[in-house]
């Protein structure tokens, strides 16, 4: 059942114009307004994106609502992955009102000493008990305005979490009930490698940082039908953009090797996305943006796959940069 559903989703995905690129919704709260965010999501779909990755935590807890607003009328046209395991900060009316009141009162000198500071709230991690996972899933479905998600992942889980019978029972029941088509894991890079090494079954999807793609799977056994990588436009990308801005020789090497104008950040981003796609040929690569003009540029990275040598050269430049950065940090 799990493998069958994953293969069905993969077939649906690759039938879409966007192919192996998916959209991550973690930055939607920076889109300027909810209407801008909804418009961005619809633009992404219009330009070919069919796979949308979200979580209760994303966009300050608003991402799922925004996806629901954007796509509730066309649910069958998109693929949605969400997660359980991290609960966002509670932002109820009473909580917001008390925090604002305390902040205002503390600006009055005589009251500053007697009015306590507003409580700093943080997301709650490691929420893998069945009762709260079920509540989280039900909330996600309500926000998404749907009766099911295509994949349900354990958010920032550990090997210990994956091994718990009650966690697996919850995931299997979510699939059996039709509220999730399949399940999997979305851990940190370290925990993903630990889970893979353990041989512990973890479902039909593995989502992890693109930096460890070359190390996974460790063997042919247990390979999930769908591998999803993320963060290829993260720390390494930002670091190399900064370096390119000050190193004329490096800019020239990029131009000669892969034809990228290193002064154009969008072209450098294409190179990173293309490298991530080449590393994950049967899976998915996620990217995020709040700028509509970047959608088309990022989607153009798929065209690089028609030139394997160009992708390989980009990979060499990125690997060389990572190695040099690692050596610099150790020295």
Q: pLDDT tens, 12-66?
A: 655 544 468 999 999 999 999 999 999 999 999 999 899 999 999 999 999 999 9
Confidence of residue 93 (pLDDT cuts 50, 70, 90): very low
Burial group, residue 214, by CB count within 10 angstroms (0-12, 13-18, 19+):
exposed
Which tokens in the block code for residue 250?
Answer: 């490096």
Residue 25 and residue 53 in contact, taking contact as beta carbons nearer than 8 Å:
yes
Average pLDDT over residues 162-190: 96
pLDDT computed for residue 8 by the predictor: 65
Predicted local distance difference test score (pLDDT) of residue 111: 58
Residue 152 and residue 185: Cα distance in Å, rounded?
8
Q: 206 has which bridge partners?
A: 185, 227
Helix axes 130-144, 165-176, angle to 10 degrees: 30
User: Confidence band (pLDDT; 50, 70, 90) for 133?
Assistant: very high
3-state helix/strand/coil string of 257-293: HHCCCCCCHHHHHHHHHHHHHHHCCCCEEEECCCCHH
Segment 239-254 mean pLDDT: 94
3-state secondary structure 166-212: HHHHHHHHHHHCCCECCEEEECCHHHHHHHHHHCCCCCCEEEEEHHH
pLDDT on residue 331:
58
Q: 184 CB contacts (<8 Å, ≥6 apart)?
A: 151, 152, 153, 154, 202, 203, 204, 205, 206, 207, 224, 226
Q: Where are the domains of the chain?
A: 1-88+124-230, 90-122, 233-281+304-331
pLDDT at 118 over 80: no
Q: Going by CATH, does the domain composed of 1-88+124-230 fall within 3.20.20.100?
A: yes
Count of Cβ atoms closer than 10 Å to residue 294 Cβ: 17
**Pairing state between β 183-186 and 79-84:** unpaired
* Residue predicted with more confidence, 135 or 121: 135
Per-residue model confidence (pLDDT) at position 330: 65
Mean pLDDT computed over every residue of the chain: 87
Question: What pLDDT score was predicted for residue 282?
Answer: 85
Q: Report in angstroms the alpha-carbon separations of 7 from 71, 124, 146, 180.
A: 23, 33, 22, 15
Q: What is the Cα–Cα distance from 301 to 275, expressed in whole angstroms?
A: 9
* Residue predicted with more confidence, 22 or 108: 22
Cβ atoms < 10 Å from Cβ of 307 = 14
Q: How is residue 126 annotated by DSSP?
A: -
**Range in 211-215, 265-269, 272-276 the model is least confident about:** 211-215
Cβ atoms of residues 155 and 208 within 8 Å: no
What average pLDDT does range 168-194 have in this prediction? Answer: 96
């Amino acid at each position: 059942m799990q493998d069958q559903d994953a293969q069905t989703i993969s077939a649906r995905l690759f039938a879409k114009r966007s192919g192996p690129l998916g959209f991550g919704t973690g930055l939607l709260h920076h889109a300027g307004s909810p209407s801008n965010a909804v418009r961005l999501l619809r633009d992404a779909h219009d330009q070919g994106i069919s796979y949308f990755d979200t979580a209760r935590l994303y966009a300050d807890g608003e991402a799922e609502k925004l996806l629901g607003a954007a796509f509730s009328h066309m649910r069958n046209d998109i693929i949605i992955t969400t997660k359980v395991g991290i609960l966002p900060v509670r932002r109820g009316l009473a909580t917001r009102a008390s925090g604002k009141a305390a902040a205002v009162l503390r600006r009055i000198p005589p009251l500053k000493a007697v009015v306590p500071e507003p409580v700093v709230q943080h997301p709650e991690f490691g929420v893998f008990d069945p009762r709260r996972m079920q509540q989280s899933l039900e909330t996600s479905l309500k926000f998404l305005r749907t009766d099911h998600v295509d994949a349900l992942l354990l958010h920032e889980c550990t090997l210990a979490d994956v091994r718990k019978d009650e966690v697996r029972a919850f995931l299997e029941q979510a699939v059996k009930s039709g509220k999730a088509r399949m399940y999997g894991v979305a851990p940190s890079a370290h925990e993903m490698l630990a889970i893979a090494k353990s041989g512990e079954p973890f479902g039909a999807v593995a989502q992890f940082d693109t930096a460890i793609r070359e190390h996974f799977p460790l063997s042919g056994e247990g390979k999930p039908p769908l591998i999803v990588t993320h963060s290829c436009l993260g720390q390494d990308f930002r670091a190399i953009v900064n370096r390119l801005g000050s190193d004329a020789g490096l800019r020239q090497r990029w131009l000669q090797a892969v034809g990228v104008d290193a002064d154009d950040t969008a072209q450098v981003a294409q190179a990173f996305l293309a490298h991530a796609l080449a590393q994950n040929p049967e899976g998915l690569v996620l990217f995020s943006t709040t700028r509509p003009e970047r959608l088309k540029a990022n989607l153009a990275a798929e065209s690089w796959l028609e030139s394997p040598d160009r992708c390989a050269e980009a990979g060499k430049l990125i690997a060389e940069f990572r190695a040099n950065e690692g050596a610099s940090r150790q020295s």
